[in-house]
């Protein structure tokens, strides 16, 4: 493993300011501002919002709004911390590179590989979900065939250039944003009874309290709701990874960090509020059709199911596209820091980490195979063992920010263009809340919370052991010489 002796060198991922354009020169600044803007906006809208919200509504009732608000607040705080570190030092490794510097090489290695593992499993989940929809439209092609086609197409897209990834994501995310925006406007008009041609006898603000109260299952259901919705927020951090390949990384990170509050408020809280106001939370159609389809059906909108299938498919393709990008960039960063094979850090003349992309997609294909061959054993283990990684990532971000603030203040205080509020108290409070959520999951046997945490901890423990063994072996060898002529230093040797 190698570490970064100075703040400016930490995982830059560039051979020069934006890459020299020669093979192996590093990543290049191929993402435009409009790409970064839409990646940031679309990053918080996952397919889980469309297909997973119904279980949360049924379990919690209208109080699911508090569950979304609680998790949304948590994400805002974590992203503020990540934004502080990434604005000071944009890097393709994002929180993994920051953890490497702030906590030690073991931390960067562990959280980087866990995050990579999470996204290659997500590739299989989303490819299968997309294939299911496509097979319903064109049954002549089997489901596994659609999964293969989708994976191949998006792999090719990522292999061309980072700009092609950005362009695809721009349109995928754009469709999601427009769809949710239209849903909120149309649904809001229907709730207040001013939507032309629609007279829904079920819509109204009375749905918030009229069917057993705002918390029909009691206050404890709020925490159960948190467990059901927390993982739909994973992806908010993608903008900080992508910023390392933009023309103005610091501006991109700052803009993304400052806008996350309204993004979560509008897309999550706004759309869920509309769903609950259009239909009673205990309406059978929410369970049968899904929350958004049921809400559209209640307005008498023709082909509501197919419309929602198209939007969900777009979200799935967006998640696949970003998942492959994110996994490959994390693998690239790990290779660059010596925590993965050196080949992962090699790039093409277009600045594409081809090996990192191919290896990531191969593991994705393997996971897809397990999903079809052993869905209730091997694949279920993969899904559950990666399920709590989001919370692990957020916790590592908290602890990294506690130390990185001091490092930045000592070395380059002018780079603190984004600051965490009420440091360090709010950082500690956020870490405490994440630990509390993990602890509460251990008491949840109804929704597999305990199994998810225990299996995720098992995988994390294995990765940690590998990290410490690798670090121990590395200390026995002479440290590599950097391009500046001095031996690379351990983060613990860096002046704080």
Please state the φ and ψ torsions of residue 14, each to the nearest 5 degrees.
-120, 145
| % of the chain beyond a pLDDT of 70 | 90
Is pLDDT at 214 greater than 90 in this prediction? yes
Question: Can you say how many angstroms the Cα of residue 209 is from the centroid of all Cα atoms in its chain?
Answer: 33
Residue 66: predicted pLDDT: 95
Confidence of residue 362 (pLDDT cuts 50, 70, 90): very high
Q: For residues 198 and 301, what is the distance between their CA atoms, to the nearest angstrom?
A: 9
Q: What is the DSSP letter of 290?
A: -
pLDDT at 447 > cutoff 90:
no
Average pLDDT over residues 43-61: 81
pLDDT at 198: 74
The pLDDT of residue 17 is 35
Residue found under tokens 């990053």 = 43
Q: Is the pLDDT of residue 268 over 80?
A: yes
- Residue 12 or 463, more confident: 463
The more confidently predicted of residues 24 and 495 is 24
Contact 463, 114 (CB under 8 A): yes
Looking at 194-248, list the stretches that DSSP marks H as alpha helix, in order from N- to C-terminal side: 220-229, 238-242
Q: What is the pLDDT of residue 125?
A: 86
Residues 6+ apart with CB under 8 A from 34: 170
What pLDDT is stored for residue 77 in this prediction?
A: 95
pLDDT tens figures, 217-236: 999 899 888 888 888 888 78
CB atoms < 10 A from the CB of 414, how many?
7
Predicted local distance difference test score (pLDDT) of residue 312: 86
Measured CA to CA, the distance from residue 291 to residue 276 in angstroms comes to 9
- The answer for residues whose C-beta is within 8 angstroms of residue 94's C-beta and 6 or more apart is 82, 86, 237, 240, 241, 244, 330, 333
Name the DSSP class of 487: B
Separation CA 446–CA 448 (nearest Å):
6
The residue whose two tokens read 């130390």 is: 403
* Token output for 291: 């929350």
Question: What DSSP letter does each residue of 340-372 carry, written as one string?
Answer: S-GGGG---TTS--HHHHHHHHHHHHHHHHHHH
Q: How far is CA 441 from CA 54, 115, 258, 469, in A?
A: 20, 20, 30, 30
Are 488 and 2 within 8 A, CB to CB?
Answer: yes
Who's near 446: CB < 8 A, 6+ residues apart? Answer: none
Question: What are the structure tokens assigned to 20, written together?
Answer: 């020299």
Query: CA triplet 253, 257, 258: central angle to 5 degrees?
Result: 120
Q: Check residues 194 and 92 and name the one with the higher pLDDT.
A: 194
List the one residue out of 183, 185, 205, 181 whose CA is nearest residue 277: 205
Give the pLDDT confidence score for residue 476 in this predicted structure. Answer: 61
Q: What is the CB neighbour count within 10 angstroms for residue 171?
A: 14
Q: What is the pLDDT of residues 384-429, one digit of tens each?
A: 888 889 899 999 999 999 999 999 999 999 999 999 999 999 999 9
Predicted confidence at residue 478, as pLDDT, reads: 54
Of 144, 80, 148, residue with least CA distance to 361: 148
**What pLDDT, on the 0 to 100 scale, is given for residue 307?**
87
- How much is the mean pLDDT over the chain? 85
Q: Taking the model in full, what pTM does it have?
A: 0.87
User: For residue range 290-339, what is the model confidence (pLDDT) as tens digits?
Assistant: 898 899 888 888 788 888 889 888 988 888 888 899 999 999 999 999 99
Instruction: Report the distance separating Cα 16 and Cα 8, nearest Å.
Output: 12
Cα separation of 332 and 355, whole Å?
Answer: 9
Confidence (pLDDT) at 458: 94
Domains and CATH numbers, the chain: 7-493 (1.20.1740.10)
**Taking phi first (over 0 means left), then psi (-120 to 50 degrees means alpha), and beta for anything else, what does residue 488 get?**
beta
Give the relative orientation of helices 47-60 and 271-278 as an angle to the nearest 10 degrees: 50
pLDDT of residue 43: 67
């Amino acid at each position: 493993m190698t570490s970064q002796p100075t703040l400016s060198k930490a995982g830059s991922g560039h051979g020069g300011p934006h890459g020299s354009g020669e093979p192996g020169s590093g990543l290049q600044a191929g993402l435009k501002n409009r790409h970064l803007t839409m990646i940031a906006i679309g990053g918080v809208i996952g397919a889980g919002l469309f297909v997973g919200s119904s279980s949360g509504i049924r379990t919690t009732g209208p109080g699911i709004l508090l569950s979304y608000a609680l998790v949304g607040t948590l994400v805002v705080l974590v992203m503020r911390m990540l934004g502080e570190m990434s604005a000071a030092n944009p890097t393709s490794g994002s929180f993994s590179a920051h953890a490497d510097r702030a906590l030690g090489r073991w931390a960067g290695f562990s959280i980087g590989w866990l995050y990579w593992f999470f996204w290659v499993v997500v590739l299989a989940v989303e490819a299968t979900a997309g294939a299911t929809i496509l097979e319903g439209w064109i049954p002549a092609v089997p489901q596994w065939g659609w999964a293969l086609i989708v994976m191949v197409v998006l792999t090719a897209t990522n292999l061309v250039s980072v700009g092609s990834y950005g362009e695809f994501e721009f349109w995928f995310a754009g469709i999601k944003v427009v769809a949710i925006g239209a849903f909120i406007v149309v649904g809001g008009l229907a709730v207040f009874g001013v939507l032309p041609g629609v007279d829904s006898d079920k819509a109204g603000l009375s749905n918030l309290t009229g069917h057993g109260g705002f918390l029909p299952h009691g206050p404890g259901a709020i925490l159960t709701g948190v467990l059901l919705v927390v993982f739909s927020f994973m992806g908010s951090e993608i903008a900080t990874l992508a910023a390392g390949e933009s023309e103005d990384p610091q501006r991109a990170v700052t803009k993304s960090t400052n806008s996350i509050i309204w993004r979560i408020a509008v897309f999550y809280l706004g759309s869920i509020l509309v769903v609950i106001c259009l239909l009673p939370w205990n309406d059978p159609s929410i369970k049968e059709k899904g929350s958004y389809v049921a809400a559209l059906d209640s307005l008498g909108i023709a082909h509501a199911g197919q419309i929602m299938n198209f939007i969900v498919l777009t979200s799935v393709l967006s998640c696949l596209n970003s998942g492959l990008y994110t996994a490959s960039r994390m693998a690239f960063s790990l290779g660059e820091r010596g925590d993965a094979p050196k080949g992962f850090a090699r790039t093409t003349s277009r600045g594409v980490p081809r090996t990192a992309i191919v290896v990531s997609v191969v593991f994705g294909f393997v996971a897809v195979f397990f999903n079809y061959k052993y869905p209730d054993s091997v694949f279920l283990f993969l899904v559950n063992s990666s399920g709590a990684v989001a919370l692990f990532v957020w916790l590592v971000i908290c602890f990294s920010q506690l130390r990185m603030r001091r490092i930045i203040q000592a070395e380059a205080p002018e780079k603190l263009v984004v600051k965490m509020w009420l440091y360090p108290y709010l950082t500690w409070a956020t870490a405490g809340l994440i630990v509390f959520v993990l602890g509460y999951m251990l008491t949840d046997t109804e929704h597999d919370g305990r199994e998810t945490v225990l299996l995720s901890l098992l995988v994390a423990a294995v990765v940690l052991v590998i990290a410490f063994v690798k670090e121990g072996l590395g200390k026995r060898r002479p440290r590599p010489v950097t391009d500046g002529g001095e031996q690379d230093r351990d983060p613990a040797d860096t002046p704080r």
